[in-house]
């Protein structure tokens, strides 16, 4: 067999090299483009008033989104408080009891599946489950949606982290006469603490910027969130409503809200990275 | 001593039951979604039957609803996203693993990962106010001039529409696909690659004939992961797809997806039939994404078994 000529092969190789460098460059350009626009347009909306007061009427200049920031914070905190403990306990079951059994396998499989189900479906589910029976939209329904999104993520990361703890830890604690539950909570969970915290932070970062599950549950509101039992102001649905409005003042406020959300999510991601690094 | 042991056993039993209940919550969630969506869409199911899936009607005034235009929009926007994102991810993974020096690969890889952290509503904002005008001013006129004889690229350059939605979806799933592809490439044993290099093969020949073949299953898995993400993506698509219940041959035309229809119309749905039709759309989306996720998980589990040599 004659060797193929070298020239075209080298040209093809060069072409692919250039193309792949171009692909990586495109990814970076898109990231820089998005972040650049969000920062540039968002900063122009920032002011003392933006962070401290209620939104103004349409077509007006000024006003702020303090109520929406507070509402997003409250619902995310409540959703985290509900979803994380259940998720960690479920992860403990999978790691400590459900390694081989059919029930454990099924829960593990469905957790993976649920992580890929669109968040708008969760919003629809909570609408039928909470909003319809109570007859009105509420911040509680929004928080429940977020909790349901957090649950499978935290369950799976907790399981992965606990499974990495060597069995010698469990055996030595059991040999000292500690009951299984104390071994799991006091030894295994402690040993895997950094990984579990990272998982929780990433889960919160993922649901904190969610819009779709809040559309039919928390809805939105122009007022302060005095309680979560009624429609509750939040940043992401506000961005959606304001962006679709014809008022430039509102559109600018939407950019401000976008920058707030982006900064918060990126900070959470950075914090998660920092926790993992400390562990190593 | 005996009392203490008995107390320990009770404590352990309570703990085991508590954790098992929390694990069962995941099961309850899946069943709950299925039951609730079926229950709340029964009005529409009875009224339209299976015709719902093949009818392209969407008329809230006459209360005639069908899912075809939204299913079409969902599938076409996802297909566009995959057509763009899969080759691009392959190129990025190739760059990160084979071509870039480690000092460059790390920050570039981190930047691509960061794309995944940006919330979808931010993609929506950027898509509507920045990227759609860019499409209308530059990309669409260019496409009309060069390949405008194909019906796909005809029509007024509005910026928003099916093509823009597909491109933005591609940007969103890019980091997920390229991250998995990168891991797949990195898992190919160096000895196999080196023996090909030793025969005088170029980097591209090694990639095409050794790396890609060795990791083909993993690459398919990466694509499946991206597919699952794209098909149910809501906010970014809602901002830029144009929200029009029509099936058009042109990719420039305004269109719709299941998720964007839900996001746009749910608050306006005033009659029981309208609401039930929207919930049934949600059920269709749930069934499609559930099937894709199950297939993906089974596929990935099989790869893992093969990799572990069991």
DSSP state letters, A139-204: HHHHHHHHHHHHHHHHHHHHHHHHHTS-HHHHHHHHHTT--HHHIIIIIIHHHTHHHHHHHHHHHH
In chain A, the residue whose alpha carbon lies closest to the alpha carbon of B107 is A28
CA distance A66 to A75: 14
Q: Which of A33-37, A81-85, A167-171, B264-268 has the lowest mean pLDDT?
A: B264-268
- Nearest Cα neighbor of A92 from A153, A156, A149 is A156
- Nearest Cα neighbor of A28 from B212, B310, B111, B228 is B111
Interface membership of B37 toward A (CB under 8 Å): yes
Look at A13 and B124 and tell me if their CB atoms are within 8 Å.
no
CA distance A259 to B203: 42
What does the block give as tokens for B86? 């899969």
In chain A, the residue whose alpha carbon lies closest to the alpha carbon of B202 is A13
Please, are residues A62 and A52 in contact by the beta-carbon 8 Å criterion?
Answer: no
CA distance A220 to A139: 9
Q: Which of A1-5, A129-133, B58-62 has the lowest mean pLDDT?
A: A1-5
What does the block give as tokens for A115? 């992580």
Look at B22 and A180 and tell me if their CB atoms are within 8 Å.
no
DSSP chain B: -HHHHHHHHHHHHHHHHHHHHHHHHHHHHHHHHHHHHHHHTHHHHHHHTTHHHH---EETTTTEE-SHHHHHHHHHHHHHHHHHHHHHHHHHHHIIIIIS-HHHHHHHHHHHHHHHHS-HHHHHHHIIIIIHHHIIIIIHHHHHHHHTTSGGG-S---S-SHHHHHHHHHHHHHHHHHHHHHHHHHHS-HHHHHHHHHTT--HHHHIIIIIHHHTHHHHHHHHHHHHHHHHH--HHHHHHSB------S-TTS-B--HHHHHHHHGGG--SHHHHHHHHHHHHHHHHHHHHHHHHHHHHHHHHHHHHTT-
Look at A216 and B267 and tell me if their CB atoms are within 8 Å.
yes
CA distance B242 to B252: 10
Helix ranges (H only) for A93-118 are 102-115
Please, are residues B73 and B257 in contact by the beta-carbon 8 Å criterion?
Answer: yes
Look at A124 and B235 and tell me if their CB atoms are within 8 Å.
no
Q: What is chain A's length?
A: 280
Look at B204 and A17 and tell me if their CB atoms are within 8 Å.
yes
- Nearest Cα neighbor of B125 from A169, A26, A35, A118 is A35
CA distance B83 to B76: 10
Three-class SS state of A78? helix
Does an H or E element contain A66, and which? Answer: helix A66-92
Look at A151 and B25 and tell me if their CB atoms are within 8 Å.
yes
Task: Please report, rounded to a whole number, the percentage of residues in chain A having pLDDT higher than 90.
Answer: 88
A61 vs B238: which has the higher pLDDT: B238
CA distances from A253 to A47, A60, A241, B118 (A): 11, 11, 11, 19
Interface membership of B138 toward A (CB under 8 Å): no
Three-class SS state of A34? helix
Res. A99: pLDDT tops 90: no
* Residue A78 confidence (pLDDT): 98
Tell me which chain A residues have a C-beta less than 8 angstroms from the C-beta of B23. 89-90, 93-94, 98, 103-104, 107, 155
pLDDT per residue as tens digits for the range A228-278: 999 999 999 999 999 999 999 999 999 999 999 999 999 999 999 898 776
Phi, psi of B306 (to 5 degrees): -65, -45
Of the partner residues A21, A152, A205, the one whose CB lies closest to the CB of residue B95: A21
* Residue A8 confidence (pLDDT): 87
Tell me which chain B residues have a C-beta less than 8 angstroms from the C-beta of A111. 26
pLDDT tens-place values along chain B, 310 residues long: 567 778 778 899 999 999 999 999 999 999 999 999 999 999 999 999 999 999 999 999 999 999 999 999 999 999 999 999 999 999 999 999 989 998 999 999 999 999 999 999 999 999 999 999 999 999 999 999 999 899 899 888 989 999 999 999 999 999 999 999 999 999 899 999 999 999 989 989 999 899 999 999 999 999 999 999 999 999 999 999 999 998 998 999 999 999 999 999 998 888 999 999 999 999 999 999 999 999 999 999 998 888 777 5
Look at B292 and A254 and tell me if their CB atoms are within 8 Å.
no
Selected for mutation to probe chain A from B3, B122, B177, B261 (highest A CB count within 10 Å) is B122
Q: Which of residues 178-197 of B touch A (CB under 8 A)?
A: 178
In chain B, the residue whose alpha carbon lies closest to the alpha carbon of A34 is B126
Please, are residues A256 and A166 in contact by the beta-carbon 8 Å criterion?
Answer: no
Q: Which residue has the tokens 């790691």?
A: A95
Q: What is the ipTM of this complex?
A: 0.94
Of the partner residues B24, B91, B204, the one whose CB lies closest to the CB of residue A12: B204
Taking the CA of residue A53 and the nearest CA in chain B, the distance in Å comes to 23
Residue A221 DSSP class: -
Please, are residues A148 and A75 in contact by the beta-carbon 8 Å criterion?
Answer: no
Look at A89 and B12 and tell me if their CB atoms are within 8 Å.
no
Taking the CA of residue B209 and the nearest CA in chain A, the distance in Å comes to 13
Phi, psi of B242 (to 5 degrees): 100, -20
Its pTM stands at: 0.94
Tell me which chain A residues have a C-beta less than 8 angstroms from the C-beta of B168. none
* Residue A63 confidence (pLDDT): 82
Look at B262 and A107 and tell me if their CB atoms are within 8 Å.
no
Taking the CA of residue A47 and the nearest CA in chain B, the distance in Å comes to 21
Look at A96 and B19 and tell me if their CB atoms are within 8 Å.
yes
B307 burial type by CB count under 10 A (0-12 exposed, 13-18 middle, 19+ buried): exposed
CA distance B128 to B16: 50
What is the number of CB-based contacts under 8 A between chain A and chain B? 257
Look at A13 and B203 and tell me if their CB atoms are within 8 Å.
yes
CA distance B220 to B226: 10
* Residue A251 confidence (pLDDT): 93
For range A135-142, the mean pLDDT: 95
Distance of CA B66 to the CA centre of its chain: 23
Of the partner residues A90, A96, A124, the one whose CB lies closest to the CB of residue B25: A90
CA distance B172 to B119: 9
List the end-to-end C-alpha distance of chain B, in Å, as a whole number: 46
Interface membership of B202 toward A (CB under 8 Å): yes
Taking the CA of residue B147 and the nearest CA in chain A, the distance in Å comes to 22
CA distances from A70 to A73, A74, A146, B285 (A): 5, 6, 16, 32
Look at B26 and A152 and tell me if their CB atoms are within 8 Å.
yes
CA distance A205 to B116: 11
Residue A63 DSSP class: B
CA distance B238 to B128: 10
CA distance B79 to A236: 27
Taking the CA of residue A37 and the nearest CA in chain B, the distance in Å comes to 7
């Amino acid at each position: 067999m004659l060797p193929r000529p070298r020239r075209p092969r080298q040209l093809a190789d060069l072409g692919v090299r250039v193309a792949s460098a171009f692909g990586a460059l495109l990814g970076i350009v898109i990231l820089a483009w998005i972040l650049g626009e969000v920062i540039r347009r968002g900063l122009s909306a920032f002011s003392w008033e933006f962070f401290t007061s209620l939104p103004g009427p349409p077509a007006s200049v000024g006003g702020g989104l303090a109520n929406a920031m507070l509402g997003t914070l409250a619902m995310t905190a409540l959703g985290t408080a509900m979803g994380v403990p259940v998720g960690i306990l479920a992860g403990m079951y999978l790691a400590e009891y459900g390694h081989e059994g059919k029930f454990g396998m099924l829960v593990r499989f469905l957790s993976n599946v649920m992580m890929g189900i669109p968040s708008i479906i969760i919003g629809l589910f909570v609408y039928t489950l909470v909003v319809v029976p109570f007859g009105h939209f509420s911040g509680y329904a929004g928080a429940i949606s977020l909790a349901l999104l957090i649950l499978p993520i935290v369950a799976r990361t907790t399981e992965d982290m606990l499974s990495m703890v060597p069995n010698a830890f469990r055996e030595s604690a059991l040999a000292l006469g500690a009951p299984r539950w104390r071994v799991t909570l006091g030894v295994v969970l402690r040993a895997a603490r950094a990984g579990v915290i990272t998982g929780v932070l990433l889960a919160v970062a993922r649901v904190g910027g969610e819009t779709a599950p809040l559309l039919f549950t928390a809805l939105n509101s122009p007022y302060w969130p005095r309680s979560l039992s009624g429609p509750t102001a939040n940043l992401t649905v506000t961005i959606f409503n304001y962006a679709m409005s014809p008022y430039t003042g509102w559109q600018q406020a939407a950019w401000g809200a976008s920058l707030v959300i982006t900064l918060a999510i990126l900070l959470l991601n950075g914090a998660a990275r920092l926790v993992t690094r400390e562990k190593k | 001593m005996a009392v203490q042991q008995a107390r320990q056993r009770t404590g352990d039993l309570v703990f085991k039951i508590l954790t098992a209940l929390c694990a069962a919550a995941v099961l309850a969630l899946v069943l709950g979604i299925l039951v609730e969506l079926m229950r709340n869409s029964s009005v529409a199911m009875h009224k339209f039957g299976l015709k719902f899936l093949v009818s392209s009607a969407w008329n809230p005034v006459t209360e005639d609803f069908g899912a075809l235009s939204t299913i079409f929009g969902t599938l076409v926007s996802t297909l566009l996203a995959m057509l763009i994102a899969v080759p691009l991810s392959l190129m990025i993974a190739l760059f990160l693993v084979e071509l870039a020096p480690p000092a460059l690969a790390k920050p570039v890889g981190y930047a691509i990962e960061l794309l995944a952290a940006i919330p979808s509503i931010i993609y929506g904002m950027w898509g509507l106010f920045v990227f759609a005008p860019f499409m209308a001013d530059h990309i669409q006129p260019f496409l009309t001039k060069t390949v405008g004889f194909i019906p796909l690229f005809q029509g007024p350059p509005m910026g928003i529409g099916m093509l823009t939605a597909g491109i933005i979806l591609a940007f969103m799933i890019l980091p997920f696909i390229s991250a998995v592809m990168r891991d797949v490439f990195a898992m190919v044993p160096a000895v196999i690659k080196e023996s090909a290099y030793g025969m005088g093969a170029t980097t591209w020949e090694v990639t095409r004939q050794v790396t890609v073949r060795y990791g083909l299953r993993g690459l398919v898995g990466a694509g499946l992961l991206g597919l699952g993400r794209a098909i149910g993506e809501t906010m970014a698509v809602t901002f830029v797809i144009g929200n029009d219940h029509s099936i058009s041959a042109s990719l420039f035309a305004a269109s719709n997806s299941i998720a964007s229809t839900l996001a746009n119309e749910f608050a306006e749905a005033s009659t029981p039939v309208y609401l039930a039709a929207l919930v049934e759309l949600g059920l269709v989306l749930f069934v499609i994404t559930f099937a894709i996720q199950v297939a993906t998980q089974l596929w990935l589990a099989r790869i893992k078994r093969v990799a572990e040599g069991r």
